[in-house]
Structure 1
């Protein structure tokens, strides 16, 4: 069997024809009008077309990258085209990002048989380091994402694992990514199913741990992975987090996040009795639960905030200069009175909104500092409006957790909210404090929930969306405040 070698012009012509066919197939398509089955079929077919192109993209980028290597001097393809380097040349022709160009070149260097330009053997055929990946890419069965995952994992252990074992792992991972049944996967659970790149990454970690356990979990302190954490520069109002965590710390963090996220994950459906009451115009306790449209990432960030704030309140937390951790928030008195302006936190460049300032004042107390025109501190007042630990325990015993119906956040993670705001001379005592989680405390002024105290107990009135009657209802009390013999729906009426 002979392979016909096409010229560059012939390949370009054929690829342009293929592009026209794809354009014709997509012309006039309205994806929103497709039924469910067709929508999935079209998406799968489009991805199959993309995979057929991926192998060529990688090989082409790797080849051009080798030809444009700066080590070739004036023979470099980049120099000949007036570019400063191979990445400028590739991104200029393809219009992809430099990071994607680097990924294609890195991947191409491990699966193609093209030699390095710096060796002076451009165009010479060299052994392919990952033939199973290269073969599946060329056949359009494997995408760039999955190929990158497989190659990256194998390259990390390639110098410490026998070639036969490495080859067996590669073929097994490729089979899992393409859905092929091979001797490496035959008889295993899931054989014949094509898995996503994310699941292939997990399988690759398992193979690496099995073939190279010392490399996967090094015991030498000098080579062991260490968690690191830091902040980047302010961007779009946020400080990006930088660093990484070890698998064990990731496990601890997952446990904390999952525990709190699960509090809102379980759906609650009304019983037949509750449904009848709803149809009669009554509102069952808990049915007025607020809609939480935060993303998973936003919820995790709020959980992390609660963890740090609880730690700051914990009496076992180490002190600085004899005092518990304190966040110093500075705000101009005139701005605070007028409700316009910003606040500033020591050690943080970016300002915070007055809404956040008021929440901090409500939950954490404040200390009045009067500064003269010359910058000298004229007066340092005592702490004001700070709920004492004893008051907080009393409020927690009464409320049991966040008082917003349906919220499951425990008392230890909540903040104490002044029912009558401090700006309106609200007192700092048990009869004027209720527990709110950070999210509901942060949105209490805009979410439509009203709170008032009646006979020493908080009562709530839900927004029109949840309670068209806008009826005041007692907040759920701590579970211990109701005898176990009473049915749950009576507990909010005690």
Structure 2
């Protein structure tokens, strides 16, 4: 795209409506967008254009916020003799805004709320400044976006009225400085002064200011009426998932973060090995000690340098698998309460023909959504099955007491041999492991120690697609890495219990 100088001459006068001037600006932007071909831009130009377009967007957003708030104020019958909305055939200011702009009512109300606290108001002939003038100035000059402004205004509005106005003003100046990257009296000499933080981090800083100014309100004491309590539940099944609903207190979030960080941390990664071989136990132990020292020194953030080639899961997926392991371990724990005399377990029902053919779905008790047949096969591999024969009318004709699952003694022996998941580099806790048939049970594989290995849920779930191969040679587990890992095509000893070597695993 050729670069040509662009000029726009706007000469607003008392006879020229502001709307006409904005129409000229809009026409210019339409011409720019029509010629914009982002795929032809250089790397520097595309980033510069992104920054410039965002600056334009911030100014446009500020104008939309101010105008929406003004339209809503003019439509308020409590303060206006004649409602602007009603003169245009609308019931409320929000209705009028949505009719003119075609945005949702939710977005219109969002703009009105922010604009009401950042606009100049006229009351009985007097001009009142914005409630949050520093945020208002940053909005109108385009140095702060609506999302960051909303975080600041909403957070400060929650503060109690008995606080000193000077303290709230200081918080406003400090937060705007953090959002815009300016140096003020509030942050001069402090770490990161002059750095502009994104809106997501501004949210955390708002909480810090609130905790400083109103610690009792931000973190109420336990037992008080206003104390927050963790809650958790499931939404309606949609798009293959049950959405989680609820929230956790800071204390529970800290507990959960501790568990997540432990298993996502960098020191849980395997030592880099030369192509064609896996690291020795001594190399792995040395690497883990070095990585832990780097974490303690602050040089490494837990979970920041995951080897994505070895584990393509996102952070959210890893946390979900960790949570799954925690619940699975709790279900197996002897101290977990029983239900009807039995340990908690998942009962899955599947048609016998579907299971053998690898088609259809399964159904878990208490869950209305179906399970894929591959998930059912994995659950049968790990937990076994019990055959029930029904008559056409639903009568139970036969109950097979033979189950295909590893007994507690077999599981204990396999874990003693493998020490956890057999995939090299995986340090998932042993008590989280599932038992896997090397030769699948539906292909005649026996359920015994010499055909069973320990796999974490993730590697068990992906063993048929990840490329890892497993075999037992004279009772010892060997694995072959996927070709894409570049480790050669040799069968190599798998993870084993650290007690098998003199220095430990």
Shorter-chain TM-score range? 0.7 to 0.9
1:295 aligns with 2:317: no
Partner of 2:194, secondary structure, is coil
Q: Would the aligned equivalents of 1:257 and 1:303 in 2 still touch at CA under 8 Å?
A: yes
Q: Would the aligned equivalents of 1:168 and 1:184 in 2 still touch at CA under 8 Å?
A: yes
TM-superposed deviation, 1:54: 2.3
Structure 1 residues 409-457: Cα deviation after superposition (integer angstroms, max 9, x where no partner): 2212221111111112322221111111111111111222222211111
Aligned length in residues: 468
Q: C-alpha separation between the residues in 2 aligned to 1:377 and 1:226? A: 47
Q: C-alpha separation between the residues in 2 aligned to 1:99 and 1:77? A: 20
TM-superposed deviation, 1:290: 6.4
Correspondence for 1:224 among 219, 223, 227 = 227
Aligned to 1:89: 96
TM-superposed deviation, 1:109: 1.7
1:434 aligns with 2:434: no
Runs of 5+ in structure 1 lacking a partner? 116-120, 486-490
TM-superposed deviation, 1:222: 1.3
> Cα–Cα, structure 1 residues 337 and 308, in superposed 2: closer, same or farther, change >3 Å?
same
Aligned to 1:165: 167
Q: Would the aligned equivalents of 2:236 and 2:243 in 1 still touch at CA under 8 Å?
A: yes
Partner of 2:484, secondary structure, is coil
TM-superposed deviation, 1:262: 1.9
Aligned to 1:461: 480
Aligned to 2:277: 284
Q: C-alpha separation between the residues in 2 aligned to 1:74 and 1:334? A: 76
1:391 aligns with 2:391: no
Per the normalisation by structure 1, the TM-score is 0.86
Aligned to 1:118: none
Q: C-alpha separation between the residues in 1 aligned to 2:15 and 2:243? A: 46
Correspondence for 1:55 among 56, 59, 62 = 62
TM-superposed deviation, 1:169: 0.9
Q: Would the aligned equivalents of 2:361 and 2:373 in 1 still touch at CA under 8 Å?
A: yes
Q: C-alpha separation between the residues in 1 aligned to 2:397 and 2:55? A: 73
Q: Would the aligned equivalents of 2:277 and 2:487 in 1 still touch at CA under 8 Å?
A: no
1:327 aligns with 2:334: no
Mapping of residues 168-317 of structure 1, within 5 Å: 168-219=170-221, 220-262=223-265, 266=269, 268-270=271-273, 274=274, 278=275, 283-285=276-278, 291-317=310-336
Runs of 5+ in structure 2 lacking a partner? 1-10, 281-306
Q: C-alpha separation between the residues in 2 aligned to 1:12 and 1:194? A: 33
Q: C-alpha separation between the residues in 2 aligned to 1:263 and 1:415? A: 24
Per the normalisation by structure 2, the TM-score is 0.84
Q: Would the aligned equivalents of 2:74 and 2:80 in 1 still touch at CA under 8 Å?
A: no
> Cα–Cα, structure 1 residues 122 and 429, in superposed 2: closer, same or farther, change >3 Å?
farther
Q: C-alpha separation between the residues in 2 aligned to 1:398 and 1:8? A: 89
Q: C-alpha separation between the residues in 1 aligned to 2:21 and 2:68? A: 19
TM-superposed deviation, 1:77: 4.1
1:347 aligns with 2:366: yes
Partner of 1:407, secondary structure, is coil
Partner of 1:176, secondary structure, is helix
Q: C-alpha separation between the residues in 1 aligned to 2:316 and 2:115? A: 34
Q: C-alpha separation between the residues in 1 aligned to 2:486 and 2:189? A: 57
Q: Would the aligned equivalents of 1:342 and 1:354 in 2 still touch at CA under 8 Å?
A: yes
Q: C-alpha separation between the residues in 1 aligned to 2:232 and 2:15? A: 50
Q: C-alpha separation between the residues in 2 aligned to 1:383 and 1:127? A: 80
